[in-house]
Amino acid sequence: MKEDTYKKGKKNIENANLEDYAKAARTFTWKDSRKYVDWTEGGLNAAYNAVDRHAQTWRKNKVALYWEDEAGNAKKYTFEELSLLSNQVGNVLKDFGVERGDRVFLFLPRIPELYFSFLGILKIGAIAGTLFSAFQEQALFDRLENSGAKVLLTTRELKPRVDAVKKKLPELKHILIVDEEPFAKSVENASDALRIAHTDPDDYAFMLYTSGTTGKPKGVVHSHRAILQEHMTAHWVLDLRDEDAYWCTADPGWVTGIAYEILGSWSNGVAALVYAGRFDPDRWYKLLDKYNISVWYTAPTAIRMLMAAGDSLIKKHNLSHLRHLCSVGEPLNPEAVRWSIKVFGMPFHDTWWQTETGAICIANYPSMDIKIGSMGKPVPGLTAAIVDDNGHELGVNKEGNIALKPKWPSMMHTIWRRPQKYKSYFTNGWYISGDRGMMDKDGYFWFIGRADDVIKTSGERVGPFEVESALVAHPSVVEAGVIGKPDTMRGEIIKAFVVLEKSVIEKTKTKPQLEKIKEELSLYVKKHLAGHAYPREIEFMDKLPKTRSGKIMRRILKAKELGLPIGDTSTLEDY
């Protein structure tokens, strides 16, 4: 592999929160993180650490949240305001009978209510679950049913999707509409004093549904202890400081939006921007300029789209406040790093982690040289390695599974109601991530690909099984096999191979007719599963490659699509 290193100068090193990576990696233990957070009487509450403790210091009147939507409406909230509003939501939820350990789900766009409600849920010891606002009825049903959510907070606009499935959800007792009078009034009238639940570090705090190769999405459960690693990584990797204006472009429907837009970032007392609009290059640069953003955490698809929008756009804006850039969620291509050095005068720092890991685990640090194309080195306090399928460590420059040594503070605690699934992550004392990679002689980790069929499209994790199930629910479809097809802009796009009903095939002979069905199927998935998880490409097949036991072999579909050798076909049914 050709190596291209971006050297860090004295200035990068001396000013960094983590000055000496090598020393920290050698000496840091998680006990040392205790002084960065507030343990009250032995308990640890992640939301208390994120906002309330700052509301008791000079940061009381410091802006914690700058919020702006697409129409240009803007609001801001201080740490004290977030603390009081989240107390009020906590009190309202208690009035609705929410108790410790109950699941309260948020099906909300990126509006301020999402942020203070999330905090309020944690403060009363309940478990917060977030649902991406692009989800449609099938995705909602699967997640609300499995979690046994008792209360759901949503908006007037999103509510009809919940209404379509609520009859099938006996455990869901209350649906509260945050932008309607009754709820808004009850929050306003609620007491802003709340005794924060004295949560044990291992008490569950939040859960997120994520996808694997097979089956329904899994409820990854995290505890309050996660705040330790979220705080430390926001400090070391994002390098957050009091004077920063920080922008994380993620949505709290995914883990990055929780760990680094709510918990870890605010725990560091930083002022954060939330933009509630869609991606738009000019608007994004305007926001960087207007809010004097100094630290920016985003994703490779967005970076590639900015590259494609052209450099002249950048010159129209004053981006002189930028000082540190980070990326997550998909492979960050070396060209994107070189481009950022050219146009912003600094590289994007790649970071690697997963919903299950709860916080950044491998990263590039401000004070450490970057081997461009590498994800960097393990976070101090963590042991990462490349292991074979039996959990045995492999030597340098050998491809294998990216693995972590349990337990780290933000490691998931369980898969909700699926303990066997949780166990299946661990082999021979290692957590096996599902990603393939290698480690070089200097201890830098390099990403190679997924070990399974999980799709990453525009940085969002999609399970092929969910998309296949949605397609098969359409009356014209007999079978479907779904893969991630490499795409220069989005990393991957979702491609579906579909076998149509005989009667439909007989009726559709012409190309325009077939195109029309493709469109209909894409729209169907968009409407019933999720706005982001629909197939951008569909190909009709007479039959799908399957194992003798009837499992669709996505590996073969993918190999054919990419023109690669098909590999071992000994388990393949006649095809």
What does the binding site for ligand WTA look like in residue numbers (CB under 6 A)?
Answer: 210, 254-256, 328-332, 350-355, 375, 433-435, 447, 450, 456, 461
Minimum distance from residue 361 beta carbon to ligand WTA (Å): 9
Which of residues 125 and 329 has its CB atom nearest to ligand WTA in the complex? 329
Distances (CA, A) of 334 to 17, 299, 326, 331, 566: 25, 14, 14, 9, 29
Q: How far is the CB of 351 from ligand WTA (least distance, A)?
A: 6
Q: In Å, what is the CA distance from 314 to each residue of 103, 168, 283, 285?
A: 44, 50, 11, 7
- Cα–Cα distance measured from residue 344 to residue 332, given in angstroms and rounded to the nearest whole number: 16
Closest approach of ligand WTA to the CB of residue 190, in Å: 34
SS3 298: strand
Residue with tokens 């054919």: 560
Amino acid at 544: L
Give the nearer residue to ligand WTA in terms of CB position, either 260 or 524: 260
Which residue's CB is nearer to ligand WTA, number 230 or number 435? 435
Bridge partner residues of 367 (DSSP): none
CB nearer to ligand WTA: pick between 527 and 555? 555
- How many other C-beta atoms are found inside a 10 Å radius of the C-beta of residue 174? 15
CB 161 within 8 A of CB 136: yes
Report, in Å, the least distance between residue 132 CB and ligand WTA: 11
Cα distances from 276 to residues 131, 271, 279, 409, 529, in angstroms, run: 15, 16, 10, 30, 22
Nearest CB to ligand WTA, comparing residues 93 and 359: 359
If the CB atoms of residues 113 and 350 are measured against ligand WTA, the closer one turns out to be: 350
Q: What is the dihedral of CA 272, 277, 280, 284, to 10 degrees?
A: -20
Report how far Cα 121 is from the mean position of its chain's Cα atoms. Answer: 20
Residue 50 gets which letter from DSSP? Answer: I
Among residues 141 and 352, whose Cβ is nearest to ligand WTA? 352
User: How deeply is 184 buried, as exposed, middle or buried, from its count of CB atoms within 10 A (0-12, 13-18, 19+)?
Assistant: middle
- Report the greatest alpha carbon distance in the chain: 73
Q: How far apart are the first and last CA of the chain?
A: 38
Query: Which of residues 102 and 356 has its CB atom nearest to ligand WTA in the complex?
Result: 356
Q: What is the smallest separation between the CB atom of 355 and ligand WTA, expressed in angstroms?
A: 3
Q: Closest approach of Cβ 447 to ligand WTA, in Å?
A: 4
- Distance CA(3)–CA(334), nearest Å, equals 10
In this structure, are strands 348-352 and 324-328 parallel, antiparallel, or unpaired? Answer: parallel
Nearer to ligand WTA, 120 or 358 (CB): 358
Indicate the residue among 229 and 355 with the shorter CB distance to ligand WTA: 355
* Nearest CA-CA partner of 254 in 537, 575, 533, 572: 533
CB of 449 to ligand WTA, least distance (A): 8
**Closer to ligand WTA at the Cβ: 148 or 434?**
434
Closer of 211 and 223 to ligand WTA (Cβ)? 211
Residue nearest to ligand WTA (CB): 355
Minimum Å distance from CB 208 to ligand WTA? Answer: 8
Tell me the two tokens of residue 190.
Answer: 């609620």
Helix locations, 56-124, DSSP H: 79-95, 112-123
Rounded to the nearest whole angstrom, what is the least distance from the CB of residue 286 to ligand WTA in the complex? 27
Q: What is the DSSP secondary structure assignment for residue 216, as one 8-state letter?
A: S
Query: Would you state the structure tokens that stand for residue 434, as one six-digit string?
Result: 């599902």
In our burial notation (b when 16+ CB lie closer than 10 A, e otherwise), range 108-137 reads: bbbbbbbbbbbbbbbbbbbbbbbbbbbbbb
Shortest spacing between CB 350 and ligand WTA, in angstroms: 5
Per the rule left: phi > 0, alpha: psi between -120 and 50, beta: everything else, 186 is alpha
Count the neighbouring beta carbons within 10 Å of the beta carbon of residue 327. 26
CB of residue 538 to ligand WTA, shortest distance in Å: 24
Asked if 439 contacts 428 with a C-beta cutoff of 8 angstroms, the reply is: no
- What tokens were used for 163? 């209404």
| Complex with ligand WTA: residue 259 or 470, whichever CB lies closer | 259
Q: What minimum distance in Å lies between the beta carbon of 453 and ligand WTA? A: 12
